[in-house]
Chain A
Amino acid sequence: MKAQASAEQETATKTGADLLVEALIGQGVETLFGYPGGAVLPIYDAIYRAEGSFDHILPRHEQGAIHAAEGYARVSGKAGVVIGTSGPGATNLVTGIADAMMDSIPLVIFTGQVAKGVIGTDAFQESDIMGITTPITKHNYQVQEIEDLPRIVNEAFHIATTGRPGPVVVDIPKDISSTVYAKEVKSDFHLPGYQPTVKPNPLQVSKLHDALVEAKKPVVLAGSGVIHAGASEELKTFVQNYQLPVTTTLLGLGSYPGTCDLSLGMAGMHGTYSANTALYECDLLINIGSRFDDRLTGNLKHFAPNAMVAHIDIDPAEIGKNIPTHIPIVSDAKAALEALNAKTVKGLHHKGWMDAISQNKIDYPLWHDQPDELIVPQWLMQKVYEYTSGEAVVTTDVGQHQMWAAQYYQFDRPNRWVTSGGLGTMGYGFPAAIGAQLADMDSTCVAVVGDGGFQMTLQELSVLQERRLPVKVLIVNNQALGMVRQWQEKFYSERYSESIIDVQPDFVKLAESYQVPGYKIETQEELLEVLPKVLGDDQPAVIDCRVLQKENVYPMIAPGKGLHEMIGVKR
């Protein structure tokens, strides 16, 4: 049947959906994350007829598809491609679109739409996805004419992956994808309103070089812009040349090797003492590809109060948005760092500062309690780091487990850390791990999730069952919404409103019902026995690891406080 159908197709003219499939092939797309439905039937038919062109991943909820695409994009460096149907299919994608927008993840999302003739009539499964996604996309399109489709697809990929990356939605009415079109179509494009500046201004680069040579207390803040630009090697050279201490944002973890001497670890609300103190005391702050998020800066009044601020960012709107900037450099991080690395460095003036920072690292390390038998999550993270030799791809949801993973898993390479930073999406980690694993089948992929977040997207266990993807789901199970509980403990007089959730499924049986091996770990002894074995094999796994419920993430900067007002710095 199928062979006959495709033979007919070759002689017949193409539908809009065929043009879409051709354009996707032209873009080098290999993996699709999608869920069929009424308005995308023609598209799914074209995918069926183009058998072998794509690996199509069918999640069990559209949110799973888009988070998987985000994980795929983060690890592969390519755009993640998502297909959803109209109405609820499209609205189920909204959380992931907003998440990708906040974290600058390149995605191209195709949504079905009701036929053009009935748009605006509240037709079955109609939603105004253009209106809904305009504020949460880099750009969006609704295809009005079939001959525009290939051009729009190419524009969408171009916009999603260049400049500051982001999600682009392409809404395709059903009559466009099903119409047969015989004429030649043009797919080249010109976007006069979109010309990102990628080369730095040499004058500003020289200014930064001079400031670096003069500085007594310089510090580098590396964000995910370094990772998007593929500039980790350039950053290493830069840091080595000027002998600079480096701290990273949450999303910038891995942009600079966490185990290097010059690394101070993560800064911000749960950052290290040495990183936050360096940001507070510095006289020259070089921000490379970070957007000065409030979880990083704390109270803006107390952020780097004595510093000259240099900011390298490909998005000019980020420069000066939150922090007044003295040396603005609108550029791709790689190009800017290359320009800086071309300078000759002589006579630096910050030896004393480096000594003070090194002393801070020694005097104020991360700390945690260690009970005799039960497991604290910090120790669990150290063990995960140890058993995966620091080489795993780690994904997380949002909350306590995310912070512990960020603190204790020292990423030495970029594109190993997949987390929901800006939007802070529960349920992100597990589907993102599916996408991450597909982008890198050779690496161990650990989804570090909370017991709360996992229950938001656990239906994607079906994908592990179906594909035998060796994703390791590690549930950091404290039977609570840990971060909510921590804030209630600290700021709401221990009134634990709706944050203790002790009624749970049996995660082992749940996993087994999806034919995924399940393990429950309750003691340190069990952990030492089970974890190395499970993380080392090539099977999927769900590990329900019980940890102390009342453990808090420290150090911490309370909301409204400055970087110098950390609590829980020492035991």
Chain B
Amino acid sequence: MKRIVTATVHNRSGVLNRVTGLLAKRQFNIESISVGRTETEGVSKMTFVVEVEDDRKLEQLTKQLNKQIDVLKVSDITDKAIVARELAMVKVISNPQIRSEIQGIIEPFRASIIDVSKESVTVQVTGKSDKVDALIDLLRPYGIKELARTGLTAFTRGHQPQVAEFKSYSLLK
């Protein structure tokens, strides 16, 4: 099962290596990882999307992460009400004739064209991972020259509904 796990960490050299090395050593498969600074000076936040077999493995993952001295807090937020976003840039082969066609495709996704050349356009899309997937699928027939995704970053919403309500919010299950 796919889980979204966040970790707040001390922003020290080698901390990313510690965390990814730990996950590799314990045979966890990281699907995506994103890291960046937070509102607190010296503290960074990592968001992982990991594939785990079962709840026991998941528990091991969070416990092992928690043992790291530089890790301050670990949360599995998959089943919480969350906002999760990922950014992708897609360089699509295009000539002036089909450029407007692409424009039409990306518009409902609220994606934008951020670079244009004679042979290609670069589309930027932001959203949940399945939305990004959907747009990439639509663009694929035109020929994708280059694709880069940031990986998911997420945190919990300001308001958490009662347990009974939010089952359907689960993003990746």
Query: Measuring CB to CB, which residues of chain A are less than 8 angstroms from any residue of chain B?
Result: 130-131, 134-135, 138-139, 142, 144, 159, 191-194, 315-317, 320-321, 324
Tell me if B64 and A135 are in contact (CB < 8 A). no
Contact with B66, one of A131, A135, A316 (Cβ below 8 angstroms): A316
Nearest B residue to A315 by beta-carbon distance? Answer: B67
Tell me which of B10, B14, B25 contacts A193 (CB under 8 A): B10
Q: Is B52 part of the contact surface with A, judged by Cβ < 8 Å?
A: no
Chain A residues in 8 Å Cβ range of B63: 316-317
Does B72 sit at the interface, judged by CB under 8 A? yes
Q: Taking CB as reference atom, which chain B residue is nearest A163?
A: B67
Among B16-24, B110-118, B140-148, B152-160, the stretch that binds chain A is B16-24
Kindly list chain B residues whose C-beta atoms are within 8 Å of the C-beta of A131: 17
For A191, give the chain B residue with the smallest CB separation: B69
CA distance A159 to B69 in the complex (A): 9
A194 to B67: give the CA distance in the assembly, Å. 8
Q: Is the CB of B22 within 8 A of A193?
A: no
Q: Among the listed B9, B22, B59, B72, which residue makes an inter-chain contact with A135, where contact means beta carbons less than 8 Å apart?
A: B22
Contact of A324 among B10, B21, B56 (CB under 8 A): B56
Chain B residues 16-36 with CB under 8 Å of chain A are: 17-18, 21-22, 25
Enumerate chain B residues within 8 angstroms of A321, measured Cβ to Cβ. Answer: 60
Q: B51 an interface residue at 8 Å Cβ cutoff?
A: no
Q: Which residues of B contact A (CB under 8 A)?
A: 9-10, 13-14, 17-18, 21-22, 25, 56, 59-60, 63-64, 66-72
Which single residue of chain B is at the shortest CB-CB distance from A136? B25
Q: Give min CB distance, A157 to chain B, whole Å.
A: 14
Taking CB atoms, residues of chain A closer than 8 Å to B60 are 317, 320-321
Q: Does B71 lie within 8 Å of A193, measured CB to CB?
A: yes
Whether the Cβ atoms of A193 and B59 lie closer than 8 Å is no
Residues of A within 8 Å of B69, CB to CB, are 138-139, 159, 191, 193-194
Q: Are B17 and A193 in contact (CB under 8 A)?
A: no
Minimum C-beta distance from A359 to chain B (A): 37
Contact A134 B56 (CB under 8 A): no
Tell me the complex Cα distance, A159–B63, Å.
17
B71 and A135 form a contact (CB under 8 A): no
B68 touches which of A193, A315, A320 (Cβ 8 Å): A193
A139 to B18, CA, bound (A): 10
Please name the residue on chain A nearest to B18 by beta carbon: A134
Taking a contact as CB atoms under 8 Å apart, the answer to whether B21 and A134 are in contact is yes
Closest A residue to B55 by beta carbon equals: A320
Q: List 23 A-B contacts (CB under 8 A).
A: A130-B14, A134-B14, A134-B21, A135-B21, A135-B22, A138-B69, A139-B69, A142-B14, A144-B13, A159-B69, A191-B69, A192-B72, A193-B9, A193-B10, A193-B69, A193-B70, A193-B71, A194-B69, A315-B67, A316-B66, A317-B67, A320-B59, A324-B56
- State the CA gap A144–B14 with chains docked (Å): 13
User: What are the residues of chain B within 8 A of A317 when measuring CB–CB?
Assistant: 60, 63-64, 66-67
Chain B, Cβ-Cβ closest to A318: B63
Q: How far apart are the CA atoms of A235 and B21 in the complex, in Å? A: 37
| Contact partners of A139 in chain B: CB under 8 A | 69
Q: Is the Cβ of B72 less than 8 Å from the Cβ of A193?
A: yes
CB distance from B27 to the nearest CB of A (A): 13
Q: Which residues of A contact B25 (CB under 8 A)?
A: 135
Chain A neighbourhood of B68, CB < 8 A: 193
Additional A-B contact list (14), CB under 8 Å, known A134-B14, A316-B66: A130-B14, A131-B17, A134-B17, A135-B21, A139-B69, A142-B13, A144-B13, A191-B69, A193-B9, A193-B68, A193-B70, A193-B72, A316-B63, A321-B60
Closest Cβ of chain A to B75, distance in Å, is 14
Query: Roughly how many angstroms separate A136 CA and B130 CA in the complex, as a whole number?
Result: 38
